[in-house]
């Protein structure tokens, strides 16, 4: 009966109910979209690291993000290969260069030069063409999301990249970059040309540990062997990269502040509505109290109103987020909504609404049953 | 339902039938020279099967008397015993439990929950007693039938007349099967005919169901339905007389 009473109390004032639900939905949509963008940014920022297929990354000292590479001597790769527990060591070149569009304009791109033979550090989500085509000189693979921006219409189109010819031999789908300088995958040999990189240099050495070796022990050995370089696990390098972009640049902080502000605004809206509704219904709560209802019964009515507001507002908010996700599909906006985002958002909405009911609950706790006689 | 509202036979064992007893109860609001002594040294009993009517001018302490009889407030001094249990040291929650177990309330303004239908208003009381679902609905509708309102079970309070609302409130009070019914000006907001119906109904609860009924009222017409009559003036009980039964013989004071 408390659920029925709670719902009737909520639905009795339709305009107020709609305003409450709009408030909760807006708050959910804002929190959800901000968090989805945050997750998208985190993923985009470290995507190259996460998909490289390495256990360890050997980088120059204090490399803060994969997008800020500093060259190291490629001969270190041989020292790595000689280390205990190492199965393979591949050089990876990450450099910025210019891509000349057919209209004459330039775009900054991120050249990713990897060893085509092993595929370590190479593209993923390939939807057209093949990686092996990169064995040919002057060939590149780009992501379809950036095709229009780069002026690419079809496989086989030829462009000027870093002053050299580049033919598109493959498309990936959905590889975003946080820097908005699209990844251009190519062979290590081509990368040296496109980025005018000096022969004998690289930016990273990607290490895979043997199956029977402990990756952290391998890392410790490499740190001892190459003390002037950094050796970090893929996970750590991924976190370091995300941390740089999201925390050190303040981008993530801004998004998190947005989420927190949404939460506060939502709490205030729900709190105010519930309190107003409760004040209006105080004589009814006093009647129930006079009739013998325990305070728990009265509190349940208020909290159940909050839960209903949370559920309905969440539903409406989710529809808004889904609309946003659909609209963002095919754009460069890094946005991702894994299943746990929906669950966490639901829990947060529930906590927000129930938390917002505390003020109303406190008022109900003080209700005077003798007021029914006034 | 009994047509004749007046009880014809006094209880065989008066002490056994006492459900609420006030012993030298005083209630004071505030303190110092602004203190208001709403009830002064009042002693009274309410027995099963009787209709006790309490009258008195405005500000005489009638509401306080009802509240203290109904375990809504605890006395400043003296004690209130409900079914043999003192309420002096009970917490607010314990008082609430006691009200749910023993007392049924009828208010001047009906105090029905406006967002619930007539049967749902009654089902709330059953819910508080742990009766839920279809059984609660069945019992609620049956109670409405008892007060002659089965055809209005699905109406909201705003769709009911004053008399119908008060009868719904009576059905609600009965839902918890209380030993005591406390009514605050139950006929004040309804017309004379509906008022007589309500009074008849309340009297029947005392005489047929052996419940104790306390009515606080200004309505002199209700005196006809009283088994006993009390008058309050400036917080003091100044009169306690038994209503004459149909034979015209007055009962001895309690």
What are the boundaries of each domain within chain B?
Answer: 18-242
Give the residue from chain B lying closest to A287, CA to CA.
B111
Interface A-B, measured as beta-carbon pairs within 8 A, has a size of: 74
* B169 vs B221: CA distance, rounded Å: 21
Residue B121 pLDDT > 80, yes or no? yes
- DSSP letters, A18-52, are HHHHHHHHHHHHHHHHHHHHHHHHHHHHHHHHHTS
Query: Which pLDDT score is estimated for B205?
Result: 87
DSSP reduced 3-state for A99: strand
Complex ipTM value? 0.86
CA angle centred on A162, ends A160 and A168, rounded to 5°: 45
* A140 vs B139: CA distance, rounded Å: 79
Give the residue from chain A lying closest to B99, CA to CA.
A292
From residue B24, alpha-carbon distances to A158, B16, B31, B97, B200 in Å are: 106, 20, 20, 24, 32
Structural contact between residues A91 and A115, judged by C-beta atoms closer than 8 angstroms: yes
Query: Which pLDDT score is estimated for B240?
Result: 63
Task: Give domain limits for chain A.
Answer: 2-44+250-373, 62-227
CA distance B104 to chain A (A): 7
Rg (CA), chain A: 29
Choose, out of A280, A290, A301, A305, the residue to mutate when testing the contact with B (most B CBs < 10 Å): A290
Query: Which pLDDT score is estimated for A186?
Result: 95
CA distance B69 to chain A (A): 12
Query: Which pLDDT score is estimated for A128?
Result: 93
Query: Which pLDDT score is estimated for B254?
Result: 34
Residue B18 sits at φ, ψ, to 5 deg, of -70, 125
| A1 in contact with chain B, both atoms CB, cutoff 8 A | yes
Q: Output the CA torsion A62→A64→A67→A70 (10° steps).
A: -10
Span of B27-31, B222-226, B239-243 with lowest mean pLDDT: B239-243
Of A5, A4, A18, the residue nearest A273 (C-alpha): A18
- What is the fold of B18-242? Rossmann fold (3.40.50)
Arithmetic mean of pLDDT, A318-334: 87
Structural contact between residues A185 and A123, judged by C-beta atoms closer than 8 angstroms: yes
The proportion of chain A whose per-residue pLDDT surpasses 70, expressed as a percent, equals 100
Residue A264 pLDDT > 70, yes or no? yes
Choose, out of B67, B128, B178, B215, the residue to mutate when testing the contact with A (most A CBs < 10 Å): B128
Distance of CA B177 to the CA centre of its chain: 13
Higher pLDDT, B9 or B123: B123
Going by pLDDT thresholds of 50, 70 and 90, the confidence category of residue A59 is: very high
Query: Which pLDDT score is estimated for A330?
Result: 75
**Cβ contacts of A10 on chain B, cutoff 8 Å:** none
Residue B192 pLDDT > 90, yes or no? no
Can you read off the two tokens belonging to residue A64?
């803060």
| A288 in contact with chain B, both atoms CB, cutoff 8 A | yes
pLDDT tens digits along A215-234: 889 999 999 988 899 999 99
| B186 in contact with chain A, both atoms CB, cutoff 8 A | no
The proportion of chain B whose per-residue pLDDT surpasses 90, expressed as a percent, equals 47
Residue B6 pLDDT > 50, yes or no? no
Give the residue from chain B lying closest to A7, CA to CA.
B115
DSSP reduced 3-state for A115: coil
Residue A161 sits at φ, ψ, to 5 deg, of -125, 120
Structural contact between residues B143 and B116, judged by C-beta atoms closer than 8 angstroms: no
The proportion of chain A whose per-residue pLDDT surpasses 90, expressed as a percent, equals 49
**Cβ contacts of B184 on chain A, cutoff 8 Å:** 373
* pTM confidence score: 0.77
Going by pLDDT thresholds of 50, 70 and 90, the confidence category of residue A144 is: very high
Residue A140 sits at φ, ψ, to 5 deg, of -140, 160
pLDDT tens digits along A14-35: 888 898 888 889 889 988 988 8
Which residues neighbour B253 within 8 Å (Cβ) at sequence distance 6 or greater? B240, B241, B242
Can you read off the two tokens belonging to residue B3?
């047509």
């Amino acid at each position: 009966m408390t659920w029925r009473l709670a719902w009737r109390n909520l639905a009795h004032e339709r305009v107020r109910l709609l305003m409450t639900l709009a408030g909760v939905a807006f708050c959910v949509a804002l929190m959800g979209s901000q968090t989805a963008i945050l997750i998208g940014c985190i993923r985009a920022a470290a995507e190259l690291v996460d998909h490289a297929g390495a256990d360890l990354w050997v980088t120059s000292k204090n490399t803060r993000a994969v997008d800020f590479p500093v060259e190291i001597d490629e001969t270190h790769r041989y020292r790595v290969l000689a280390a205990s527990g190492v199965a393979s060591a591949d050089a990876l070149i990450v450099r910025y260069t210019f891509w000349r569009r057919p209209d004459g304009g330039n775009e900054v791109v991120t050249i990713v030069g990897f060893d085509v033979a092993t595929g370590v550090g190479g593209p993923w989500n390939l939807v057209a063409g093949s990686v092996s085509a990169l064995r040919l000189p002057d060939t590149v693979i780009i992501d379809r999301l950036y095709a229009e921006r780069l002026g690419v219409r079809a496989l086989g189109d030829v462009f000027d990249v870093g002053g050299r010819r580049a033919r598109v031999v493959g498309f990936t789908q959905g590889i975003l970059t946080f820097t908005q300088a699209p990844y251009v995958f190519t062979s290590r040999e081509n990368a040296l040309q496109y980025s005018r990189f000096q022969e004998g240099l690289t930016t990273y050495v990607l290490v895979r540990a043997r199956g029977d070796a402990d990756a952290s022990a391998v890392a410790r050995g490499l740190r001892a062997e190459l003390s002037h370089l950094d050796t970090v696990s893929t996970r750590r390098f991924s976190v370091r990269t995300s941390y740089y972009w999201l925390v050190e640049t303040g981008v993530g902080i801004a998004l998190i502040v947005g989420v927190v502000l949404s939460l506060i605004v939502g709490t205030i809206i729900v709190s105010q509505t519930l309190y107003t509704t409760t004040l209006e219904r105080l004589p009814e709560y006093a009647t129930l109290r006079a009739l013998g209802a325990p305070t728990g019964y009265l509190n349940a009515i208020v909290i159940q109103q909050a839960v209903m507001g949370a559920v309905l507002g969440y539903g409406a908010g989710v529809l808004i987020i889904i609309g946003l996700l659909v609209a963002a599909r095919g754009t460069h906006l890094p946005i991702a909504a894994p299943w746990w985002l929906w669950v966490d958002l639901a829990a947060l909405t529930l906590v927000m609404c129930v938390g917002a009911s505390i003020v109303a609950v406190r008022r109900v706790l003080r209700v005077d049953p003798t007021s029914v006689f006034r | 339902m009994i047509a004749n509202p007046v009880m014809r036979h006094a209880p065989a064992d008066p002490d056994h039938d006492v459900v609420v007893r006030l012993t030298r109860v005083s209630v004071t609001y505030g303190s110092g020279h602004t203190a208001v002594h709403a009830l002064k040294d009042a002693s009274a009993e309410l027995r099963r099967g009787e209709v006790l009517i309490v009258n008195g001018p405005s500000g005489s302490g009638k509401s306080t008397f009802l509240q203290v009889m109904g375990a809504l407030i605890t006395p400043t001094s003296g004690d209130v015993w409900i079914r043999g249990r003192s309420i002096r040291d009970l917490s607010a929650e314990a008082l609430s439990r006691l009200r749910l177990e023993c007392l049924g309330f009828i208010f001047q303004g009906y105090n029905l929950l406006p967002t619930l239908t007539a049967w749902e208003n009654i089902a709330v009381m059953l819910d508080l007693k742990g009766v839920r679902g279809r059984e609660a609905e069945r019992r609620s509708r049956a109670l409405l039938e008892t007060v002659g309102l089965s055809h209005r079970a699905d109406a909201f309070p705003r769709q009911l007349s004053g008399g119908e609302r008060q009868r719904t409130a009576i059905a609600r009070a009965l839902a918890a099967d209380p030993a005591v019914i406390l009514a605050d000006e139950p006929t004040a907001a309804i017309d004379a005919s509906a008022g007589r119906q309500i009074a008849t109904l309340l009297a029947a609860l005392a005489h047929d169901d052996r419940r104790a009924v306390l009515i606080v009222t200004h309505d002199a017409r209700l005196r006809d339905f009283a088994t006993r009559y009390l008058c309050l003036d400036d917080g003091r009980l100044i009169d306690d007389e038994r209503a004459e039964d149909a034979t015209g013989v007055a009962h001895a004071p309690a």
